[in-house]
Structure 1
Amino acid sequence: PQQTLDAVEATGLRCTNVCVQLNSFENRVYQIELHDGSPLVVKLYRPGRWSAAQIREEHQFLNALAQVDVCVCDVIELPKGGTLSQSGPLMLALFARQGGRAPEEVTMAMSARLGAMVARIHQVGVELPVEHRVALNADRLDDTLDWLLDQGALPADLVDRYVETAREIAAVLDERLTQVPRHAIHGDLHLGNLILRRDILHVLDFDDMMIGPACQDLWLLLPGRDEHTLRLRTAFLHGYRQFRDFDTRWLNLIEPLRGYRYVTYAAWLSRRWHDPMFPHTWPNFGTQKWWQKATQDLEDVLAHLDAPVVPDQIDDWAEEGSDLWDWGESR
């Protein structure tokens, strides 16, 4: 904590001794208190994970979203200029504190709100000049798989099954991404990265922003395969299309994107295994049982590549009360 406070004060701000660690696996995140009593959140970026240029693009995305009243955690301009402070390998940024609660249930109305919010994020992402961020594509999936193989992470009796299935998914992803527009997206937009504050949705954690298809920011919010989730997707698309077009054919990316997520998640855990927090949180990772399930999950993706992604019949639910958000409310 003292090192964190010293790093913040090096930016020109004065702090009290308050420094409370918040939940975060990839970075170290603390709530601090300035000398005038106002709270801020400081994010210490994991060394080696992002370059300064990549982090600045994250901040540019946040600032651009804030300018059009998309509710995000505002990144704070530092007294000495800019939003990123760097000292050796340590890079930090300060953010406004955002209180609130996670959405408890995704109803049809909430799904439409999510769709509208994501569309507005993508409206900004399309116009954002991004040069340094990761691109979501089949090559990255293949490269991640190669890394896992080089590390010898997989049990010998599962290597062939896992690799063959993952390569097939990569080939399908490559084919289905053809002609699909890609632009700056959140990239990790699951419900855990949303909060409701005064009934307004706020989006958190743009660390993993990337260049990718719009569908990536849909399926993580609505990942199920059941009929109810398929209906929720129709509501999401109704909200999304209030602001941007979304070709229903793009939804055939959901399953290959799911496979992409499974492989990159396994590699993320493997890369972070030296951090004591990871073995403590995922004690079964790397075991025969874990990789057996991971292999079965990939095979399940392959089996569902042509499964329905929206209902055969579209509900008429939107005819009543479809405008369930008020973007004019104060942030």
Structure 2
Amino acid sequence: MSAAAPYAALSPDVVLAAVDAAGSWSDGRLLALNSYENRVFQVGLEDGGVVVAKFYRPGRWSDAAIAEEHAFAIELAAAELPMVAPLVIDGQTLLRHEGYRYALYPRRGGRAPSLESRDQLEWLGRLLARIHAVGSRERFVARTTLDRATMIQAPMRAALGSDLLPAHLFDAYRHAAGRVDDAVAQRFEAVGPVRQLRLHGDCHPGNVLWTDAGPHFVDLDDARTGPAVQDLWMLAGDEPMMDALLEGYGQFRDFDPGELALIPALRAMRQVHYAGWIAERWHDPAFPAAFPFAAEARWWEQHIADLHEIADDLF
């Protein structure tokens, strides 16, 4: 497979053959699901069932890091938490076919949560507290930490090393991103040490599916070590929503209110990471099609202006 087009050889036939190789005979039904970092497909089975096949982006995570993702999901499911965990096939969850690493998951439907509902927010808060209670039992070894090196400095290097960033904006971007890095460092230093634990890592509303029986969580692809507030702020659009989440959270686990001061820094880190992620993945044909605005100088000009505003607010 080519580094410039890592999924070029992942044809429908290869996807179906991978499912067959795992012992789940496909019936030819195949639906591509929304995913940019990996490739995810819903595959129909001859027995009438359905599985979800997730093909990991080559080179992104080590086998050990993927194994930790799977083990965490299985640990959460074993604790009777509504986490969709990979299927175990002949004692393995990480499978291989035609050079690709993949995993199979049961299909779990649902709709987006109603984050305007205080009851639903409290429910999510209770579940996140229980997820964090499990997450605090052990430590990740192979997976990354939510820190400046991972979320600012590496994406910054990717943007600076990409032809996507207009040459005449190179110095302006470097200065703006550097200011954010300094401001985030100061905010973390001001808050002081906070407890680190295994997190979902990307707990936005799209990774929570609601059914008549309640919610379930999907996609631990960005699971990493960090502060508990990371899994809360992405679900809370304002202070009343955060209050509702914490009301539920506090029923199962103590929360350090000092972590709330990290939210602006965590939001800033995510914004720097977003631009660097697009720049790093621009060789993947899916990215220019999905993010055409990133090829325009005016988008980078606005991004630079946003970074300065973020830094000003943090200092």
Q: What's the TM-score once normalised by structure 2's chain length?
A: 0.88
Counterpart check, 1:296 vs 2:305 = yes
Match of 1:46 among 38, 41, 57: 57
Identify the residue that residue 101 of structure 2 maps to in structure 1: 91
Partner Cα distance (1:184, 1:174) in 2: 21
* Residues 1-331 of structure 1 aligned to structure 2 (within 5 Å): 1-78=12-89, 80-87=90-97, 89-140=99-150, 141-151=152-162, 153-177=164-188, 178-222=192-236, 224=237, 229-305=238-314
Moved more, 151-160 or 187-196: 151-160
Q: Tell me how far apart the structure 2 counterparts of residues 215 and 89 of structure 1 sit (CA, whole Å).
A: 38
CA distance in 2, matches of 1:115, 1:173: 26
Moved more, 245-254 or 152-161: 152-161
1:134-182 per-residue CA deviation (whole Å, 9 max, x = no partner) reads 1111222223212322335433444444333322332343344441111
Code of the aligned partner of 2:198 = A
User: Please, what is the CA RMSD of the aligned residues?
Assistant: 1.9
Describe the shift of the 1:304–1:113 C-alpha distance in structure 2 as closer, same or farther (beyond 3 A).
Answer: farther
- Equivalent residue, structure 1, for 2:6: none
After TM superposition, give the deviation of residue 15 of structure 1 in Å. 2.2
Residue pair 1:137, 1:173 contacting (<8 A) in 2 also: no
Deviations along 1:88-147, whole A, 9 cap, x unmatched?
630111101011111244333322222212111111111133111011112222232123
Change in Cα spacing, 1:286 to 1:94, as seen in structure 2 (3 Å) is same
Q: The residue matched to 1:127 in structure 2 has which SS?
A: coil
Any idea what the Cα deviations from partners look like across 1:260-318, whole Å, max 9, x if unmatched? 11111111111221222211121111311111221222223223337xxxxxxxxxxxx
Q: Distance in 1 between matches of 2:178 and 2:232?
A: 24
Secondary structure at 1:135's aligned position in 2? Answer: coil
Aligned twin of 1:328: none
8 Å contact kept, 1:75–1:93: yes
| DSSP-derived class of the 1:130 partner | coil
Contact 1:61 1:128 in 2 (8 A): no
Distance between the aligned counterparts of 2:248 and 2:309, measured in 1? 30
Q: Report what 1:319 is aligned to.
A: none
Instruction: Give the conservation status (yes or no) of the 8 Å contact 2:143–2:225.
Output: yes
SS at match of 1:94: strand
Q: CA deviation at 1:48?
A: 1.5
Which structure: greater helix fraction? 2
Further displaced range: 295-304 or 47-56: 295-304
Shift of 1:11: 2.2
Gaps of 5+ in 1: 307-331
Shift of 1:252: 1.1
Q: 1:108 to 1:305 in 2, by over 3 A?
A: farther
Is the Cα–Cα contact under 8 Å of residues 164 and 294 in structure 2 kept in the other structure? no
Instruction: Count how many residue pairs are aligned between Structure 1 and Structure 2.
Output: 300
Contact in 2 for aligned 1:102/1:194 (Cα 8 Å): yes
What CA distance in whole angstroms lies between the structure 1 residues aligned with 2:72 and 2:115?
28
Equivalent residue number for residue 4 of structure 2: none
- What is the aligned partner in structure 2 of residue 318 from structure 1? none
Alpha carbons 1:258, 1:301 under 8 Å: kept: no
CA distance in 2, matches of 1:167, 1:244: 36
Structure 2 unaligned blocks of 5 or more: 1-11
Deviation at 1:250, TM superposition (A): 0.8
| Percent identity of equivalent pairs | 39
